[in-house]
């Protein structure tokens, strides 16, 4: 009869991972209760036991990549926590106007100093575009410029940025393309710094839910925000964009995408990093915009997010001494698990990164792809 440790090792063998092995991606167990905890708790227990210091790994991103490549995330889906999340997502709208503010307080308000040290100089908290780029600053500027070009921005146009973050796109578009930008966010800390970053430009930053937008705009963009909309609100989101976009306008959606339709997210990420988040599938997106928009372009560069996240991971650890008095060791381990796990999800192609361009369904906007 197998011991609990042998049962866990048998599962890990399918991924080429050893308990207390010599490879940098092998798990080094510090607490023997780890085995029963993981067998009972699935992916949530794996992340929580790491944060608790029950196990370590030199190359955490590579370990998670191997687990995902072996589809062990599917094995972990049978835990009770996955079922609970699925039931909550089915019977509750987890992204109402009130509940949508939770992720702002929980994640984006965690500290502007942390993000300033981790991100590029413009503070883009979304996937960079690494083609012909030498470093993170160049890759993020290339991403911003590609978005502006895809939107065919012209001087004097009025642009809406849904989920504006710290104002990176708003500032770039106003500076380089001489447009007027309204940026909205649900994070108080983001709004404060975004206003500071965009000072002196034709940019207005609002603390506002996307469902409360009432004006018309020439162009609309949403970068890394759709993951917080939730499947029950996908149609509402596209309806809001449709009513807010001028007839000859363009809308660009920059979002993480999943290979299959889900109605809930991974338990550990939902609990500790992005509460009530949800990664859309292509099917869910196309269903949500039906009869509202014409698809002009669909660009996938998901592997660029692996590289982006690993640079963020390096920056975070390189600058830890500058912020360690504001956080504790558990936070450091949690953040490393988050960044490493997300990088692995793109490396294993479990997640994608999409930029999708739309025009309104009754317009005749000519469009030529930029990539």
Distance of alpha carbon 72 from alpha carbon 120, whole angstroms: 33
Q: By the 8 A CB rule, do 259 and 352 touch? A: yes
Encoded tokens for 251:
């809308």
Give the containing element (helix H, strand E) for 333.
helix 329-347
In the annotation, is 342 catalytic?
yes
Distance of alpha carbon 208 from alpha carbon 349, whole angstroms: 33
Distance of alpha carbon 255 from alpha carbon 34, whole angstroms: 35
> 328: which residues sit within 8 A by CB, 6+ positions away?
none
Distance of alpha carbon 15 from alpha carbon 213, whole angstroms: 48
Query: Helix crossing, 34-51 with 329-347: angle to 10°?
Result: 100
Distance of alpha carbon 195 from alpha carbon 335, whole angstroms: 27
Catalytic residue among 57, 148, 164, 342: 342
> 235: which residues sit within 8 A by CB, 6+ positions away?
287, 288
- Count of CA atoms in the C-beta half-sphere (13 A) of 89: 24
Q: What's CA 261's distance to the chain center, in Å?
A: 17
Distance of alpha carbon 55 from alpha carbon 50, whole angstroms: 5
Distance of alpha carbon 288 from alpha carbon 282, whole angstroms: 10
Distance of alpha carbon 152 from alpha carbon 368, whole angstroms: 10
Q: Are strands 293-300 and 351-360 parallel, antiparallel or unpaired?
A: antiparallel
Distance of alpha carbon 181 from alpha carbon 205, whole angstroms: 8
Each residue of 335-356: b (16+ CB within 10 Å) or e?
bbbbbbbbbbbbbbebbbbbbb
DSSP string, 85-109: HHHHHHHS-TTSTTTTHHHIIIIIT
**What residues are annotated to the active site?**
342
């Amino acid at each position: 009869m197998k011991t609990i440790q042998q049962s866990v090792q048998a599962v890990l063998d399918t991924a080429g991972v050893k308990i207390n092995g010599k490879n940098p991606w092998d798990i080094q167990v510090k607490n023997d209760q780890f085995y029963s905890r993981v067998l009972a708790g699935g992916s949530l227990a794996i992340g929580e036991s790491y944060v608790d210091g029950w196990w370590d790994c030199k190359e955490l991103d590579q370990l998670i990549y191997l687990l995902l490549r072996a589809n062990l995330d599917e094995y972990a889906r049978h835990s009770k926590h996955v079922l609970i999340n699925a039931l909550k997502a089915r019977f509750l709208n987890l992204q109402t106007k009130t509940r949508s503010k939770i992720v702002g307080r929980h994640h984006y308000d965690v500290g502007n100093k942390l993000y300033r040290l981790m991100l590029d100089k413009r503070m883009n908290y979304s996937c960079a575009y690494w083609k012909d780029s030498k470093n993170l600053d160049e890759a993020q500027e290339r991403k911003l410029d590609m978005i502006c070009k895809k939107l065919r921005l012209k001087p004097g146009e009025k642009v809406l940025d849904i989920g504006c973050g710290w104002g990176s796109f708003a500032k770039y578009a106003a500076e380089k393309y001489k447009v007027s930008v309204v940026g909205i966010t649900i994070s108080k800390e983001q709004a404060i710094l975004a206003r500071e970053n965009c000072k002196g430009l034709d940019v207005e930053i609002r603390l506002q839910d996307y469902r409360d937008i009432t004006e018309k705009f020439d162009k609309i963009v949403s970068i890394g925000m759709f993951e917080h909309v939730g499947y029950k609100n996908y149609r509402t989101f596209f309806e809001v964009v449709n009513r807010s976009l001028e007839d000859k306008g363009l809308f660009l959606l920059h979002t993480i995408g999943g290979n299959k339709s889900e109605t809930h997210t991974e338990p550990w990420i939902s609990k500790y990093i992005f509460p009530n988040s949800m990664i859309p599938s292509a099917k869910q997106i196309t269903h949500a915009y039906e009869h509202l928009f014409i698809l002009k372009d669909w660009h996938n560069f998901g592997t660029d997010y692996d590289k982006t996240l690993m640079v963020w991971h390096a920056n975070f650890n390189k600058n830890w001494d500058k912020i360690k008095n504001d956080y504790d060791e558990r936070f450091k381990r949690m953040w490393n698990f988050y960044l490493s796990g997300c990088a692995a999800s793109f490396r294993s192609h479990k997640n994608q990164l999409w930029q999708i361009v739309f025009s309104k369904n009754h317009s005749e906007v000519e469009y030529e792809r930029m990539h």
